[in-house]
Structure 1
Amino acid sequence: MINIQSRFLMRKVFIRWRSVQCFSVKHFSDKASPNNTWYDLVVIGGGSGGLACAKEAAGLGKKVAVLDYVDPSPQGTHWDIGGTCVNVGCIPKKLMHHASQMRHAVHCAKKYGWIAETDLQKPNWNALSNTIQQYVRSLNWGHKVQLMQRNVSYFNAKGQFVDNNTIKAIDKTKKETLICGDKIVIAVGGRPRFPLIPGAREFCMSSDDVFWRKEPLGKTLVVGGSYVGLECAGFLHGLGIDTTLMIRSIPLRGFDQQIAHLIVEHMHEEGIKIWNSQVPVQVSKINSGSLEVISQLNDGTTFANGFDTVLLAIGRLASTSELNLQNVGIKFNEENGKIFVDEFDMTNVGNIFAIGDVAVGRPELTPVAIKAGKHLARRLFDNSNELTDYNNVPTTVFTPLEYGCIGMSEEAAIAEYGIDNVEVFHAFYKPLEYVLTEQSHKQCYIKAIVLCQSPQPILGLHFVGPNSGEVVQGFGVAIKCGLTYAQLSGTTGIHPTCAEEIVKLHITKRSGLDPTVTGC
């Protein structure tokens, strides 16, 4: 049941949304006239990177157009401007993660003397999803208003290349309009990949769907060992949903593997069922309306199991298949659709650029795309020479026990510098928050990867524990400034915090000593 305040908010957002829709239609018709179609910059894609680039260029006095259109998912889910992060990624994911943590916090509160009237079993899924969706829609509206305030022309349309200066915009009614630009930026991001197995597209959902789902998911299978798969399995379990996680090979590919296995171990101990070395080979609907999943082990053995929901998180493909890149000869990776770019984000076609998740070799992270978009606009229109630094980018995986990191994994450091030239300082620690609640702290772990050669720079920092994103952000600045082990260990910690254990690191893996923190 939606309360009066929620109804008022929805009404206010709707009125504002309608006003922006009127603005969008007006600008579409005005800018589409044959005598007024040339722009200094045309951005294809209204996600974080594309919007940042467009707004920055408009702020520099340039005439800018943005095209953005979202094809519905195979399950029919669609959303508005803002890209993956706003609509089906970072924002709703973090809110779901926080909601799941609240249930755990209420349970732990009893240990602190709080008297709970009832145990929290499951949330009202419809109320939770509606609240999140209302917030997301307010962000959609905000993006449109910001474009209007900067006189950016917004086209709710797909973009296809006609030539290197001309884009065909196709709206939802199939109306076609030619838009011309001096510079063109591709920032279309990516969408979830579906396996080529019977029933995948017909019956399975992805991260494009879960945040917009109106009904409770019921017993759920999450397929995939990526950070998306682990995060979704984590918050679904935390919300009281019977959750199973199926991992084909290794979890968190590209991350430090010691940490990855600690994360999975913790999820298993929390009650999430983990099926390793297994893949789905068929999904079908049975008479009861539930789904039967046939899965296969590496040795060929197959199993049949029933679920209410199957959520696929097996990777993403760049959304470039309908751009007609061949019309202008843009080079791209045929396996994943990503576009090849140089250090200036330029494609092999001189006036066409690509930023964000759609570009080969770029970290698939929202803040990275935003920086890339702003830097590109300044280079194009403000005589800037500043490049986006894609090294030492901090990030966090929002699993039930969070994992924050920056820099190299242990495996990558050893591969580049050799095992004899790398020192790993590490520690298992117990958060004070876990003491009274008697929570398991077996996987709370920190390690700093250090180059032995003077001045012993920190190559990588990995932190597993509460609020890891908040902790690692500050260390990200330090490592960006060239933090050394002497500077790290010479810093005074804040007591009592989890973060202080980082500056107290002193036991190396090479020593073989027990790294468990026991006191001062």
Structure 2
Amino acid sequence: MLFKKRNLITITVPKIFLSSYLIFRQSDFLSYSFCYNFNHLTDYRNFFHKINSNNSYSNSSNSYSINTSLQSSQSNSYSTNTNSQSNHTNTNSNHTNTNTNFEKNSFRIKNMIHYDLIVLGGGPAGMAAAKEASRLGKRTVLFDYVTPSARGTSWGVGGTCVNVGCIPKKLMHYASLLRSSNYDKFQYGLTNTQELTPINWNKLIQTIQNYIKMLNFSYRSSLLTSGVDYINAFGILKHNKIIEYNLNNEIKYVSGDKIIIAIGERPYIPSDVEGANEYAITSDDLFQLNTNPGKTLIVGASYVALECAGFLTGLGYNVDVSVRSILLRGFDRQCVKKVEELMEASGVLFLYHKLPIKIEKHNQQLKVTFNDQSVNYYDTVLYAIGRIPSQYTQHLKEVGIEFDGNGNILVTNEETNIKDIYAVGDIVSKVPKLAPVAIKSSELLIQRLYSNNNTQMNYENVPKCVYTPFEYSSCGLTEEEAIEKYGEDNLEIYLKEYNNLEISPVHRINKKTNDEFDYPMTCLSKVICLKDGKIIGMHFVGPNAGEIMQGFSVLLTLNAKKSDLDKTVGIHPTDAESFVNLTVTKSSGKSWIATGGCAGGKCG
């Protein structure tokens, strides 16, 4: 139903429309699919289209158009003049004069809506900030715009995490684990063959994209029901906290008391590798490929590179990983070595110090020439060498916002060098680039601005997980960081290396299943303490590592000690119980490799 209240248009939508999908899980060994009731979804979309079909919606009386397109429209793309980057002095001088005139004449802009808060960016950080501000009674607008990738890939509201990051990555990881479990089924009596089930790539992509589109739709709906105005356009920050944007080829403006920048980062392809921009893809493209990737070269050693290598290998594709120097820089080296060992056992080939210098088309494949002049042929080349801020930040520099050398915004407690302009999420300098961090920091910022909560974001001891075939999760300091900060003599490091119970009887190498210890130990538990027992770091490599570390991360928040773990009784037989049974220290010189076979427990 539609009714007016305080000059705002409010739409009440039956809950069935907001959750109008059905999820059916067939046998996981045969298919991995979701099915949606798109009749209800279509009804909901038609409901909105009856009001209007433009690219924004607003709860304000001066702006009232709605569109429920599940993909961001790219027809109104905006470009900025980057030539001015070469001469900051002249650029800033020119823009000072230009914007002075702009400020003097800003009163002439007709129908310019004024907001308490303007949010630039529709990812986890931006959405969290906008919804929290609206919850606290502030008039809020969110600008959401996705620049298509070099391959033309774009997506709906929700940012990297929902569309091309956490969500599709985790679903691909799960699908690969289902297929890998075929190694185990025969030994457990579930089938009469050890052959792996072929993967239907198109079905997998369809399943994942249907789910993502449902999330896009639900996020648009949640913004609407939260009272946040949504504009699907690229917002350009002008002086005097005015935003200029192009909507349906018409230049418009809004102003705000406060502005939050949450525009995130994107993966990139290097320009100095011949043919890379023409033929290579990034993780932004992988989850929408309409053909299977086939034999794949992944360039990079980041967690994105290793996650993609892991699930593509698990799905049955040959994967080489081109590594410039080391894997997972910034992570605990001992744990990274275990991850590498397990990935090699699963079939991933690491090419150390071997980098592409040229990519060219050769028949139906890509011919890759490496820096050692060797040549190999691939169906797909994927770059995962890191992420950089959006190229469309020149307008922020022109108004005086300060950036670091990597193109990230410098902040103090999320506030930039300009009063009432803030930045949150991946665009911020020297913060963990994780969706939960972006959400938490955004919500706390809004609460400091508009309520009596003065809690600051704590960027230390943030738990994280790398979704390699055997996952790696951690919280707190690595061994290397702890040594640098406290000194090796002031530390006590507890370790245990052992086999996951479920995999132990079968292992994943067909020809060696009769040898109990043919496969690398699949689990590594590690706790780093000060001499007084205070826990300053926890690490785990093994199945379901993210689920295990989430609970244990509370220990670091509470400044717990090793004695607190020792007093805890474990759940047997689990991998997690290893943390309450750690007795061997690195300094003791004793072996921390278990000789029994009961997961993380003490039996045997």
TM-score (norm 2): 0.81
Q: Paired residue for 2:534?
A: 457
C-alpha change, 1:303 and 1:20, in structure 2 (3 Å) is farther
Q: Deviations over 1:397-432 (max 9, x none)?
A: 000011010000000000011111111111111211
Aligned to 1:214: 290
Maintained 8 Å contact 1:17/1:141: no
Residue 399 of structure 2 is aligned to residue 371 of structure 1: no
Question: Counterparts in 2 of 1:47-86, with a 5 A limit?
Answer: 47-86=123-162
1:400 equivalent to 2:477? Answer: no
Q: Does the Cα contact within 8 Å between 1:403 and 1:469 map onto a contact in 2?
A: yes
Q: Are positions 1:31 and 2:63 aligned together?
A: yes
Query: What are the Cα deviations for residues 446-481 of structure 1, in whole angstroms up to 9, with x where unaligned?
Result: 1111111x2x21110010111111111110112211
Work out whether residues 164 and 287 of structure 2, in 8 Å CA contact, stay in contact via their aligned partners in 1.
yes
- Looking at structure 1, the residues matched to 220 and 561 of structure 2 have their Cα atoms a distance apart, in angstroms, of 44
Deviations 1:156-214 (A, max 9, x none): 0011111141111234x443211111110000110002112221121111000000111
Partner of 1:306: 377
Distance in 2, Cα, partners of 1:364 & 1:93: 16
Give 2:12's aligned residue: none
Give the secondary structure class of the aligned counterpart of 2:355.
strand
C-alpha displacement of 1:375: 0.6
**RMSD of aligned alpha carbons:** 2.1
- The equivalent position to 1:136 in structure 2, one of 193, 212, 218, is 212
| Alignment map for 1:30-179 (pairs within 5 Å) | 30-31=62-63, 34-116=110-192, 119-171=195-247, 173-179=248-254
Q: Is the 8 A contact 1:429 1:441 kept in 2?
A: no
Separation in structure 2 between the aligned mates of residue 222 and residue 14 of structure 1, nearest angstrom = 39
Check 1:512–1:193 CA distance in 2 against 1; reply closer, same or farther (3 A cut): same
> 2:42 & 2:270 partners in 1: Cα distance?
37
Contact 2:185 2:194 in 1 (8 A): no
Kindly indicate whether residue 339 of structure 2 is the aligned counterpart of residue 263 of structure 1.
yes
Match of 2:568 among 474, 477, 491: 491
Closer/same/farther in 2, CA of residues 223 and 184 from structure 1, 3 Å limit: same
Counterpart code for 2:219: H
Distance 1:340 1:322, change over 3 A: closer
> Given residue 529 of structure 2, which amino acid in structure 1 is its aligned partner?
V
Report the alpha carbon displacement of residue 109 of structure 1 after superposing the two structures with TM: 1.8
Aligned-residue sequence identity (percent) comes to 42
Q: Distance in 1 between matches of 2:44 and 2:585?
A: 58
Q: Is the 8 A contact 1:423 1:449 kept in 2?
A: yes
Secondary structure of 1:462's partner?
A: strand
Compare relative contact order (CA 8 Å, sep 6+) and give the higher one, 1 or 2: 1
Please name the residue that 1:447 is paired with.
526
- In the TM superposition, residue 118 of structure 1 has moved relative to its aligned partner by 7.6
Paired residue secondary structure (1:158): coil
Q: Say whether residues 1:514 and 2:583 are aligned partners.
A: no
Please tell me whether the aligned partners of residues 498 and 524 of structure 2 are also in contact (alpha carbons under 8 angstroms): yes
Change (3 A) 1:260 1:13: farther
Partner Cα distance (1:84, 1:16) in 2: 25
Q: 353-362 or 325-334, which moves further after superposition?
A: 325-334
Report the equivalent of 1:184.
259
**Partner residue, 1:9:** 37
Residue 321 (structure 1) aligned with residue 398 (structure 2): no
SS at match of 1:510: helix
Amino acid at match of 2:591: D
Task: Give the SS at the match of 2:401.
Answer: coil
Gaps of 5+ in 2: 1-21, 25-33, 65-108, 509-518, 597-601
> Structure 1 residues 188 and 491, CA, compared in 2 at 3 Å: closer, same or farther?
same
Are residues 372 and 8 of structure 1, via their aligned partners in 2, closer, same or farther at CA, if it must alter by over 3 Å? closer
CA distance in 2, matches of 1:239, 1:9: 28
Aligned residues of 2:57 and 2:231 also touching (Cα < 8 A): no
Q: Give distance in 2, aligned partners of 1:284 and 1:18.
A: 46
- Offset at 1:509? 0.9
Task: Give the letter aligned to residue 171 of structure 2.
Answer: L
Q: Determine the structure 2 residue equivalent to 1:436.
A: 505
Number of corresponding residues: 508
Separation in structure 1 between the aligned mates of residue 172 and residue 481 of structure 2, nearest angstrom = 32
Of 550, 557, 573, the match for 1:480? 557
Q: Is the 8 A contact 2:525 2:539 kept in 1?
A: yes
Change (3 A) 1:87 1:26: closer
Task: Look up the equivalent residue of 1:405 and give its one-letter code.
Answer: S
The farther-off stretch of 372-381 and 20-29 is 20-29
Q: 2:489 is paired with a residue of what secondary structure?
A: helix
Alignment-derived partner of residue 485 in structure 2: 416
Question: Residue 422 of structure 2 corresponds to which residue in structure 1?
Answer: 353
Letter in 2 for 1:317: I
Q: Distance in 2 between matches of 1:73 and 1:19?
A: 32
